[in-house]
């Protein structure tokens, strides 16, 4: 690779290093490009989001916060869009998008609220009514019924190789 600053030889580097997140700094395993001549360090393309995801993952692990998939599950439980969940909890625009994408970790207060929403549909219903957000009744974990009849899947038909197409 060629450095965009000085034209020198640049290589892909993988190393653990501090990464600032707000007033906090966490150590992440980072991957970036470094120029051997001028020392410039940079990310290209999709590499730019990776350190934020890694830092948020470290924070979630250290603080015991819900992961992106758990936030998606809570939102899906009530049939909420990301924007509707933001309206329900009074969060800023695109906040839930960032939590679910994994680029930002929610703070402990937001995490507690999300856990309460996940466990208490009546709280969701009350907030939804107060804030004009449409929600569906919470889905419960479903168990197969004892009397449920098992249906065999339909056979898959494959086109014959000698058939005209």
pLDDT exceeds cutoff 90 at 165: no
Pairwise CA distance, residues 35 & 45, whole Å: 17
Q: Residue 93 is encoded by which pair of tokens?
A: 């625009």
pLDDT exceeds cutoff 50 at 43: yes
Map out the domains of the chain as residue ranges.
Answer: 10-48, 68-131
Give CATH for domain 68-131.
Answer: 1.10.260
Residue 93 is given by DSSP the state T
- Calculate mean pLDDT across residues 66-84: 97
Q: Say what the pLDDT of residue 145 is.
A: 42
Q: What is the pTM of this model?
A: 0.77
Q: Residue 102 is encoded by which pair of tokens?
A: 């994994």
Please report which residue ranges of 20-159 form alpha helices under DSSP H.
50-63, 68-77, 82-89, 95-101, 108-119, 121-131
* Model confidence pLDDT, tens digit, residues 87-122: 999 999 999 999 999 999 999 999 999 999 999 999
Q: Say what the pLDDT of residue 136 is.
A: 87
């Amino acid at each position: 690779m060629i450095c965009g600053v000085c034209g020198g030889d640049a290589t892909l580097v993988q190393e653990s290093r501090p990464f600032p997140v707000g007033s906090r700094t966490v150590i992440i395993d980072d991957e970036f490009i470094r120029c051997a001549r001028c020392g410039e360090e940079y990310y290209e393309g999709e590499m730019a989001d990776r350190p934020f995801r890694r830092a948020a993952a470290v924070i979630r692990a250290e603080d015991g916060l819900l992961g992106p998939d758990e936030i998606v599950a809570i939102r899906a439980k009530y049939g909420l869009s990301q924007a509707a969940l933001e309206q329900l909890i009074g969060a800023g625009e695109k906040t839930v998008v960032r939590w679910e994408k994994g680029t930002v970790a929610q703070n402990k207060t937001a995490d507690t609220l999300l856990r309460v929403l996940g466990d208490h549909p009546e709280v969701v219903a009350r907030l939804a009514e107060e804030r004009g957000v449409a929600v569906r009744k919470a889905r419960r974990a479903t168990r197969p019924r004892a009397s449920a009849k098992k249906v065999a899947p339909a056979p898959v038909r494959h086109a014959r190789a000698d058939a005209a197409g």
